[in-house]
Structure 1
Amino acid sequence: MIRIGEFREHGDGYSGRLEMLGLRAAVLILPATRSDVRNAPDFRVHAGETADGPEIGAAWKRTGERAGAYLAVVVDDPQLPRAIRANLFRPTIEGQPHLLFWQRNRRRRETEQQ
């Protein structure tokens, strides 16, 4: 997995940066409005440093056997060739940032190797 961002917890949300080749952006992950819709996101992802920034994605609370609690994050934008699907993990050391990791889809990797 490749680290593509670092975030700090602020109240019930997160602020940080998405950084990779060709993309550097301030990002906020804020609680979504509660919904009765099945699989509704737990968080909305906004570009910029305020909640007024454009919505560029969503995140869902997940729990992994080894990782514990984390967020499954999807970021999308017309400038991107496809959505970025990544996971935001809690720090292993208190006071350190949460880390956003991305891994290429296995089916795509297999297709590229042929």
Structure 2
Amino acid sequence: MNLTVTPGSAYAVIALEGRLTAPGVPRLRSAISELVDAGSIRVVIDLSGTEFVDSSGLGALIGGLKSARLAGGDLRIAGVTEPVRRVLKLTNLDRVLREYDTVEAAFDER
């Protein structure tokens, strides 16, 4: 899994490519934690390049959501691919993680 962090003034973006599985989870958790600790409490996870997510990956997303919300922010997901969407629906996490078509739409305040 490749992970790219792009800090921003309105929100930070973490773009994932590949498979979000147990080996990549520590990197994702660390990236979210570093952003939240640095004051970037609004985080978008760009899943447009993610082809699969397993239970540990889902756990990392939920953990990140909790961290961001405890800090007064939020974590949202964008660009969800169909295989990932199926897993989210199967686990009912599509009701917990707010999905947006694009990264820009995730924190569009209009």
Same fold (TM over 0.5): no
The structure richer in strand per residue is 1
Q: Structure 1 length as normaliser, TM-score?
A: 0.28
Q: Could you say which structure has the larger radius of gyration?
A: 1
Q: Structure 2 length as normaliser, TM-score?
A: 0.29
